[in-house]
Every structure is written in C-alpha cells, then in structure tokens.
Amino acid sequence: MQLPKSRRRQKLREKRCQYPGCGKIFFGIHISKYCPEHRLDRYRIRKRTKPEDVNIKNQTYKHNYTEVVTMVLTCDLEGCEHQFEVKIYPRQYVYPKYCPVHRNEYKRIRHLEQIGREDLIEKMKAEGENAEVESIGHQIVDSKSVENVA
C-alpha cells in the first residue's frame, strides 16, 4: 500500500470567537475556538492554584545553626507522647511535626478516633493546623555531647 507524501489541507470554515464578550466571526479550521486577536498570549486565562501552606503537615523551626545537629522532638498529635530524632540542617527551617508512626494523615485520624477525639478530627480538617515552633524545650543531641536548650 502506498501512502501519500503530502498531508491533506484542512478546510477553513466560518467560526465565531469563543472569547467572552467577543463573538467576532473568523475563518479557521474545525478545532479553532478564538479569533487571531484572542489567540495571543496576553488573552490567555491561566488558572493558578494557591500554594499549600507548609505548616499544615510540618512545623517551622527557626534556628541559626551552622552545622548539622540532631534534635529530639515530641509528636504534636493529641495523646501521642512518642519522641523522634530529626536532623537540623543549616538554612532549612521546615521539619516534620509528627512522629514516623503518625506522619500519614490516615493514621493521625485513626489515632484520634481511638482516643475518642472526633472534635479534633473536624478541627484538623477545617483549619489545617498552623504552628510555628520556637527553640524552647527541645533536646539537642549532638555527636559530641547532649544538652538541653532553654
């Protein structure tokens, strides 16, 4: 079977511009929606989503360390007293808020259901839990020594 070497030319049809408020009639192929003026970049409607707040599932820890430090944090979930270690890096401020057991949202909801705090589940879903941690009361574990930040 022989295939043609040239493509078939698409037929130009009379079309109405779909840009809101325009309605101008122009000639275009079957898939064209907008007149030549409204095909320009400045008329493109771009929908941008808002960036998600990092403090919903994490915490911001402000520090001025110049080397990597290991810190012991307590899980922020109601009724959970697990402690976990986090490495604090220079010029990085966002760290996990929950222990490895409760990092998953499903597991946090299950834990709150088990301790009977359905009100906190609704609150957690509604407002998104914003928290900023200061450097008070966390235990810093360094490879050389152990000290308590006050």
Q: Do residue 75 and residue 128 come from a single domain?
A: yes
Does residue 112 belong to any structural domain of this protein? yes
> Are 76 and 126 in the same domain?
yes
CA-closest candidate to residue 59, choices 142, 143, 129: 129
Q: Which pLDDT belongs to residue 13?
A: 94
Q: What is the pLDDT of residue 75?
A: 93
- Reference 72, options 146, 150, 129; nearest CA is 146
Range of the domain at 17: 13-43
Please report which confidence band the pLDDT of residue 146 belongs to, taking 50, 70 and 90 as the band edges: very low
pLDDT band at 93 (very low <50, low <70, confident <90, very high): very high
Whether residue 128 has pLDDT greater than 60: no
Q: Do 66 and 24 fall into the same domain?
A: no
- pLDDT of residue 33 exceeding 90, the answer is yes
HEC profile for 68-132?
CEEEEEECCCCCCCCEEEEEECCCCCEEECCCHHHCCHHHHHHHHHHCCCHHHHHHHHHHCCCCE
On whether both 39 and 63 belong to a single domain, the answer is no
Contact, 14 vs 89, CB < 8 A? Answer: no
Q: What is the mean pLDDT of residues 104-130?
A: 81
Tell whether 122 and 93 lie within a shared domain.
yes
What is the rounded CA–CA span in Å between residue 17 and residue 96?
A: 51
Whether 71 and 141 map to the same domain: the answer is yes
At residue 63, does pLDDT exceed 80? Answer: yes
What's the CA gap between 84 and 52, in Å, rounded? 25
**Structure confidence at residue 28 (pLDDT):** 94
What is the count of structural domains for the chain? 2
Q: Does residue 72 sit in the same domain as residue 19? A: no
Q: Do 68 and 38 share a structural domain?
A: no
Residues 74, 110, single domain; the answer is yes
